[in-house]
Amino acid sequence: METWLPSLLTETPELGFDLAIKLSRVAVKKTQPDEQIRLRLREVYEKDADALIASSQVVAINFQTVAAANGYWRT
């Protein structure tokens, strides 16, 4: 069975950060499934400081989840 999210565990913090970005994007995708519309919106918000900061906040929240799941990669 295929899944876009097999696990929250990643080998490294960097891969965990990438997963946090993925979680943020999938949430948008599930609300707006039309890729054409998403691409058009992306062109706008990519050049908008407020939207970029808001995006980075979503990533930060998701990274909290992924980091906790991985025991903060302490060992």
Chain residues binding a copy of itself by CB under 8 A are 3-9, 12-14, 17, 21, 23-24, 26-28, 30-32, 37, 41-42, 44-65, 67-69, 72-74
Residue type at 58 in one-letter notation = V
Nearest distance from C-beta of residue 39 to a copy of itself, angstroms:
11
Nearest distance from C-beta of residue 33 to a copy of itself, angstroms:
9
Residue type at 66 in one-letter notation = V
First vs last Cα of the chain: how many Å apart? Answer: 31
Nearest distance from C-beta of residue 35 to a copy of itself, angstroms:
13
What does each C-alpha distance from 71 to 5, 34, 54 come to in angstroms?
A: 18, 36, 26
